[in-house]
């Protein structure tokens, strides 16, 4: 297992807003690492968030501290949540101008980055920002990944679990492509405990479209009512950190570099201590292949603007 100059595990979170603090809280409650380091351009807010989170440390004794960007750069994992969030009606891609600038200043502040660190992008548009972090951070591409469509896949499994009356954990179904409006559901490979989903329930094409819309529209529906989403991504990001630090090697649809698509996009990948260990080929039908190609083209168009 790779080691750093620290004798204990640390996860830095850049951006101490709703998402960053929910990830910090989840990491602490699940004892994913020994120390969580919080960084934000808004110093007073960040210190107050640390103080509040410190009141929860007695449950697990995971340390939470306010950190400088340079200290954060020496962590085992650096989670980037800094940036603007969507207003109701905005798409994730609408955030690119603002968050590209934020990302540039965040990556500059982290230097020199621990060469063994894994950077996990969460800020949106996550696929495009993952691509730019791979270009700007100086780390190998496998060490820079985005939370991608893991959260969307969890949302999909939640809906299917209700419909089929089985546990989410027994459903293997992926949302792939952009973590955004061009994503698609890989229905042709969806299984329940190894059996194709069509053997369990005859979901019509119209219903599949409806389920896909519910999944891709869930964030917007939550944002319309409460202004942001945080618990789902808190659990998802903490889960990815756990998989990395404990070298667990689950197969997750995460945003990582795909040579074939020439961009960072979500397809199943094995996650371990070195980040993306390998990619797992997903059988797709013609329609799904067209959808993933269109999604990749959308992302490449965004990248080409810079
Ligand atoms: N990938 C995913 O599935 C999800 C992504 N998100 C994204 O996460 C991001 C954060 O969302 P929230 O936490 O709700 O927003 P927020 O507004 O609550 O927090 C953002 C924080 O970033 C900080 N910040 C801005 N520039 C910074 C810089 N240069 N250095 C350090 N900190 C800086 C701000 O001061 C603020 O505290 C958004 O882009 C949102 O779209 C949110 C939910 C899920
Ligand atoms: C905001 C966002 O990207 C999500 O909850 O999926």
Q: Write down the pLDDT at residue 2.
A: 44
Task: Say which DSSP state 122 is in.
Answer: -
Nearest ligand 2 atom to the CA of 126 is 3
Looking at the CA of 230, name the nearest ligand.
1
Please name every residue paired with 65 in a beta bridge, in sequence order, or none if there are none: 37
List the catalytic residues: 179
C-beta of 14 in contact with ligand 1 (< 6 A): yes
Average pLDDT over residues 88-109: 97
Longest Cα–Cα distance in the chain: 56
Q: Kindly indicate whether the domain formed by 10-146 is annotated with CATH number 3.40.50.720.
A: yes
Q: Is the pLDDT of residue 3 over 50?
A: no
pTM listed for this prediction: 0.98
How much distance in Å is there from the Cα of 224 to the middle of ligand 2?
Answer: 12
Rounded CA separation 46/172 (Å): 38
Fold of 150-304: L-2-Hydroxyisocaproate Dehydrogenase; Chain A, domain 2 (3.90.110)
Secondary-structure breakdown of the chain: helix, strand, coil percentages, each rounded to the nearest 5: 45, 20, 35
Domain with CATH 3.40.50.720 in the chain: 10-146
ipTM topping 0.90: yes
Per the CB < 8 A criterion, the answer to whether 159 and 247 are in contact is no
pLDDT tens by residue, 286-299: 999 999 999 999 99
- Phi then psi for 253, rounded to 5 degrees? -80, 95
Per the CB < 8 A criterion, the answer to whether 88 and 58 are in contact is no
Nearest ligand 1 atom to the CA of 146 is 1
245 CB neighbour count, 10 Å cutoff: 21
C-beta of 229 in contact with ligand 2 (< 6 A): yes
Q: Write down the pLDDT at residue 85.
A: 98
Task: State whether residue 78 is helix, strand or coil.
Answer: strand
Nearest ligand 1 atom to the CA of 227 is 14
Domain with CATH 3.90.110.10 in the chain: 150-304
Looking at the CA of 95, name the nearest ligand.
1
Rounded CA separation 60/296 (Å): 42
124 known member of a binding site: yes
C-beta of 149 in contact with ligand 1 (< 6 A): no
- Kindly report the average pLDDT of the chain as a whole number: 97
pLDDT tens by residue, 136-183: 999 999 999 999 999 999 999 999 999 999 999 999 999 999 999 999
Looking at the CA of 216, name the nearest ligand.
2
- From 157, 175, 176, select the one nearest 167 (Cα to Cα): 157
How much distance in Å is there from the Cα of 219 to the middle of ligand 2?
Answer: 5
pLDDT tens by residue, 208-266: 999 999 999 999 999 999 999 999 999 999 999 999 999 999 999 999 999 999 999 99
Q: Which two tokens stand for residue 71?
A: 């200290």
pLDDT tens by residue, 8-56: 999 999 999 999 999 999 999 999 999 999 999 999 999 999 999 999 9
19 known member of a binding site: yes
Q: How confident is the model at residue 1 (pLDDT cuts 50, 70, 90)?
A: very low
Q: Write down the pLDDT at residue 222.
A: 98
Q: Which two tokens stand for residue 143?
A: 């060490």
How much distance in Å is there from the Cα of 124 to the middle of ligand 1?
Answer: 8
């Amino acid at each position: 297992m790779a080691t750093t100059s620290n004798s204990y595990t640390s996860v830095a979170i850049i951006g101490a807003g709703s998402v960053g603090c929910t990830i910090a809280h989840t990491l602490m409650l699940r004892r994913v690492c020994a120390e969580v380091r919080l960084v934000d351009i808004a110093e007073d807010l960040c210190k107050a968030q640390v103080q509040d989170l410190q009141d929860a440390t007695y449950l697990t004794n995971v340390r939470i501290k306010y950190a400088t960007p340079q200290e954060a750069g020496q962590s085992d994992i650096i989670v980037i949540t800094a940036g603007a969030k969507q207003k109701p009606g905005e798409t994730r891609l609408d955030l690119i101008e603002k968050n590209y600038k934020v990302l540039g200043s965040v990556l500059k502040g982290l230097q020199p980055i621990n060469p063994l660190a894994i950077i996990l992008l969460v800020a949106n548009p996550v696929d495009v920002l993952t691509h730019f972090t791979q270009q700007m951070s100086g780390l190998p591409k496998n060490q820079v990944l985005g939370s991608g469509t893991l959260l969307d896949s969890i949302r999909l499994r939640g809906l299917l679990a209700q419909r089929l009356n089985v546990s989410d954990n027994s459903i293997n179904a992926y949302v792939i492509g952009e973590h955004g409006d061009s994503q698609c559901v890989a229905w042709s490979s969806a299984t329940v405990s190894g059996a194709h989903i069509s053997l369990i329930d005859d979901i019509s094409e119209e219903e599949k479209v409806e389920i896909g819309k519910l999944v891709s529209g869930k964030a917007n529906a939550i944002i319309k009512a409460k202004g942001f989403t945080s618990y789902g991504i808190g659990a998802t990001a903490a889960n990815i950190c756990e998989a990395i630090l404990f070298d667990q090697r689950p197969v997750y649809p995460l945003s990582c570099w795909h040579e074939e698509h020439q961009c960072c996009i979500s397809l199943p990948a094995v996650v371990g201590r070195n980040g993306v260990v390998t990619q797992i080929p997903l059988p797709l039908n013609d329609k799904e292949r067209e959808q993933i190609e269109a999604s990749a083209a959308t992302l490449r168009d965004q990248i080409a603007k810079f």
